[in-house]
Structure 1
């Protein structure tokens, strides 16, 4: 299969866990158009001169894209509150939107705060106890130099500062004494329903991350790069397309084509290649138990976030980052759809693959129910600069939710491959065809062909074989309605003295792709050659206590019409009819002809 893809840039990417969340359906976006944003290049204010009760102003967005003003009063400064050498400015803010929300909200992170026409810094922290108009501000002078620093996630306050906070607000001294925490960035994943979000929340996989709120994708008619201004919305994304992993915050400053935002990290990836997006705020959701949060649609990428540091994010407006492409083509009945997602950060690739495939399944199959799926996929990329292609085809059956059951194996394999040293994945391309038929075949026995016909192989009636001969065997398969079918194969007995042997006949559903032991692309290729499809039967033989060095493809029988479950072990004995030792040395070659 041939697909158009873009090759990820080779800029250094610091590994880090991408905090992912789950959300609702998305619509197709287009490249960002429109005028570029207006730069402000506002100089930094000397925060060491701030005094208690100083009046300040700020800009942020609660709805739409246009920044609105808010006012504030300085409470005080926590020396080294964010990190050694980085103070936190405590300020009480007020506006109609803040009053409606009950306090500062998630997504307000990065909102610029000014005094005398200069930039004090960015709203970045909220009181730990719950919603409040009291915020901690990260000084801009510590944000604009590649956003370095090592702030704590929680900032403590002493009794004197707690008393000041209590005097300036409705917060009690004990509540204020709980300190400040970073305002979370409202993280979201588009493409999945809320039911799927709850379902995936309980999945224990290394590529799966937490749950947040719903977001969508705005078309370019609604939002473009011109809205990325100081106080305006901005989103950083690990993936964008059918599925988007993004966090929405606020721009602190725009200058010479670069933005600074958030006032604290997105995921602390260091030097990175996140997508930079405009966003359209829908509303601020009040939350009596925690911080209110902004719900927004994000627009098409308008640049790249290349720094994700402890005191904020920074990036360049212009060309979107290069990406790995995940594409899924799903057919069910008379419906079909192809969707794509661009993935900017390798750590997000497996989760993006899972969510892209699942979202497209749900869009096309449009049922949570039983079914069968014929699936093929291809992973392309490079290992230390050498191109590779990994391919697999399989059949899945599930009697409750085929769309959910059939996407895990690929996500696990993508996670393993993309985590290998020196590996860059350029594309994951998936094709599937789903039907409502969901029968399985159960491997119930093994029979041997004799002069009088087929007879069952049992513990009391093992296979009696002569060295150098081929034994005709067949697997007995039972359908749910009791109908029997058979798959024949030949087992070549090695030459030489036969002391004994055993053969395992395995249904594909009892086998699996072993993703997590891979150490190289060569390992991945070998594993794909070894593993059984779910609709295959495999044959593994041991003679004279030694597993034979057989060609792995010869141990697989031809695929059947549906999934096969079950495993049977049979014994091979020598011409004298007595079982021999299975621990002695020796061996030969076994072949399993396909029929």
Structure 2
């Protein structure tokens, strides 16, 4: 269930629909507030149209099709077959080339992103030929590459790689040029799959753009985000041949999805897109209806459809070269990612549901960032105290729980500073075969303070007094004795004293070494990047908080090595900096 509560001075604001805005090459989609469980309406009656055999497709054959450019009701388009590209999609998988026409296609200057999956029928007998899936690589055009439905119906998945650009020969290029505004040279650039990068709701345009390439699990092609209201959400009954359909890796605060068109609905199953979503083979994406707002023309690339998503109504079970396939009813299993953020008198709890396990880290990252931005409402300096929990099962089905608390201070952007450690760990766990993450929760309180401690002078207690150590004044200790030390943490309100001691073993006589006081903010944990769950959990247990101090002692001599470490704190502020002094054992 999606929880989106915003509290301010006792006033609860209603959830608003999220819609995504796109870059020039991206598909645009939106996300309405998503309810729990499948949409309440019944699945639509299937059409189960007979398939037109590929062997019967001929040049000049007239066709008719269905697609949506606004709302949920499919509208007709017409067209003509220009020819067939043998093995145009993959070895043994041909592509049909057509010229399509309708008022909407004319207004958009060509076919659009989001039209993928639009069914194309023989104009004479109404049998289903295939689905719109590819467009000219050079730019907007009414020329479309069609995936034959006889292959979509078989869910063909060869060992060939996912097609990028489909080459066309000289004769086909000339034929395309004769039926479009493209020149022969432009048509010779080939066709490509209509773009379908992931649309992400829940973050601002500026924030989403700034996060690209910041973490290894962040998708390079995503949509930027805005907000919009929708009068009514689409339902399962709106997924019909030629109607909108969306496949989502997550839904809720963070909806990560692609919108296309359904090709056929038959016996509780839906086939659409005509090309892969992410080419995963077996799939656990959720299936959504969608409501198109309009088609945006784009002179630099393919026009794109602007749409809002409805609640999930089923599961996308297959994601192959020839398209996606889904079933109505049961939703895929999902892990929940919940973030609760408080800043002054504003607080909000938000949740996302992740149905594709490999997307867990990215959605966790976006959930934390998005909820912070919604509450803080700006990029600010500040301090955050945060606690989080990850629950799941290991490869043997044994439950595990990982928990940690920390304090973060940033002089630029406290939101980012506090939002990458948890998804890094989720990423590490999700890479371990057999590990299932079931729940991720985070609770955070943010203040505007940037006060910090800095590690200052290191002193040794000897002969009844504290002696400040330096380059010319090392720590001195006898083998078998106790080394008593302290560091002065300097803060805005004064000095905090940190005291510790080490017993030096007798075997260390004659050794030399060093001792370091290191602020926790200077330390980096590699817990997320281990090759087993047990090592990740052990690494979490050893993580040092940013408001702690780690003290390391190292002594070295002939055939002798002594290393010891302690962690002190936590303290009431983040600790930065460090000091290192020499140690001599007599």
1:122 aligns to 2:134 (yes or no): no
Query: Per-residue deviation at 1:202?
Result: 4.4
- Structure 1 stretch displaced more, 347-356 or 79-88: 79-88
Query: Per-residue deviation at 1:326?
Result: 0.7
* Paired position in structure 1 for 2:10: none
Please report the RMSD computed on the Cα atoms of aligned residues, expressed in angstroms. 2.3
* Paired position in structure 2 for 1:430: 442
Number of residues of Structure 1 aligned to a counterpart in Structure 2:
553
Question: Secondary structure of the residue that 1:99 maps to in structure 2?
Answer: helix
The whole-number CA distance in structure 2 between the counterparts of 1:457 and 1:354 is 44
Query: Per-residue deviation at 1:401?
Result: 1.1
Query: Per-residue deviation at 1:278?
Result: 0.7
The whole-number CA distance in structure 2 between the counterparts of 1:214 and 1:496 is 64
Question: Secondary structure of the residue that 2:331 maps to in structure 1?
Answer: coil
1:519 pairs with 514, 531, 536, which one? 531
2:149 pairs with 135, 140, 146, which one? 140
The whole-number CA distance in structure 1 between the counterparts of 2:250 and 2:498 is 45
Note the residue ranges of structure 2 that are not aligned, 5 or more in a row.
Answer: 4-25
* Paired position in structure 2 for 1:489: 500
* Paired position in structure 2 for 1:37: 44
2:399 pairs with 361, 364, 387, which one? 387
* Paired position in structure 2 for 1:64: 71
- Structure 1 stretch displaced more, 442-451 or 153-162: 442-451
Instruction: Determine if contact 1:23/1:214 at 8 Å carries over to the other structure.
Output: no
Residues 522 and 499 of structure 1, relative CA distance in 2, 3 Å threshold: farther
The whole-number CA distance in structure 1 between the counterparts of 2:95 and 2:508 is 82
Instruction: Determine if contact 2:544/2:550 at 8 Å carries over to the other structure.
Output: yes
The whole-number CA distance in structure 2 between the counterparts of 1:171 and 1:496 is 84
1:322 aligns to 2:338 (yes or no): no
Instruction: Determine if contact 2:388/2:440 at 8 Å carries over to the other structure.
Output: yes
The whole-number CA distance in structure 2 between the counterparts of 1:405 and 1:56 is 56
Query: Per-residue deviation at 1:418?
Result: 1.2
Question: Secondary structure of the residue that 1:92 maps to in structure 2?
Answer: strand
* Paired position in structure 2 for 1:98: 105
1:478 pairs with 487, 490, 503, which one? 490
Instruction: Determine if contact 2:527/2:537 at 8 Å carries over to the other structure.
Output: no
Residues 36 and 22 of structure 1, relative CA distance in 2, 3 Å threshold: closer
Residues 284 and 105 of structure 1, relative CA distance in 2, 3 Å threshold: same
- Structure 1 stretch displaced more, 536-545 or 348-357: 536-545
Spell out, residue by residue over 1:444-469, the C-alpha distance to the aligned partner (whole angstroms, 9 max, x if none).
22112234532211121111112333
Question: Secondary structure of the residue that 1:297 maps to in structure 2?
Answer: strand
The whole-number CA distance in structure 1 between the counterparts of 2:226 and 2:370 is 14
More strand by share: 2
Question: Secondary structure of the residue that 2:48 maps to in structure 1?
Answer: coil
Residues 349 and 530 of structure 1, relative CA distance in 2, 3 Å threshold: same
The whole-number CA distance in structure 2 between the counterparts of 1:232 and 1:203 is 37
The whole-number CA distance in structure 2 between the counterparts of 1:363 and 1:22 is 22
1:349 aligns to 2:360 (yes or no): yes
Question: Secondary structure of the residue that 1:556 maps to in structure 2?
Answer: strand
The whole-number CA distance in structure 1 between the counterparts of 2:214 and 2:139 is 29
1:260 aligns to 2:267 (yes or no): no
Residues 349 and 315 of structure 1, relative CA distance in 2, 3 Å threshold: same
1:373 aligns to 2:380 (yes or no): no
1:462 pairs with 457, 474, 485, which one? 474
1:297 aligns to 2:308 (yes or no): yes
* Paired position in structure 1 for 2:9: none
Query: Per-residue deviation at 1:26?
Result: 6.4
Query: Per-residue deviation at 1:544?
Result: 3.6
Note the residue ranges of structure 1 that are not aligned, 5 or more in a row.
Answer: 4-19, 576-595
Residues 448 and 494 of structure 1, relative CA distance in 2, 3 Å threshold: same
Instruction: Determine if contact 2:34/2:310 at 8 Å carries over to the other structure.
Output: no
TM-score (norm 2): 0.90
* Paired position in structure 1 for 2:453: 441
Residues 393 and 482 of structure 1, relative CA distance in 2, 3 Å threshold: closer
2:510 pairs with 499, 505, 513, which one? 499
* Paired position in structure 2 for 1:52: 59
Instruction: Determine if contact 2:29/2:308 at 8 Å carries over to the other structure.
Output: no
* Paired position in structure 1 for 2:186: 175
TM-score (norm 1): 0.88
Question: Secondary structure of the residue that 1:40 maps to in structure 2?
Answer: coil
* Paired position in structure 2 for 1:588: none
* Paired position in structure 1 for 2:115: 108
The whole-number CA distance in structure 1 between the counterparts of 2:302 and 2:232 is 31
- Structure 1 stretch displaced more, 370-379 or 180-189: 180-189
Query: Per-residue deviation at 1:549?
Result: 6.9
Instruction: Determine if contact 2:457/2:487 at 8 Å carries over to the other structure.
Output: yes
- Structure 1 stretch displaced more, 507-516 or 369-378: 507-516
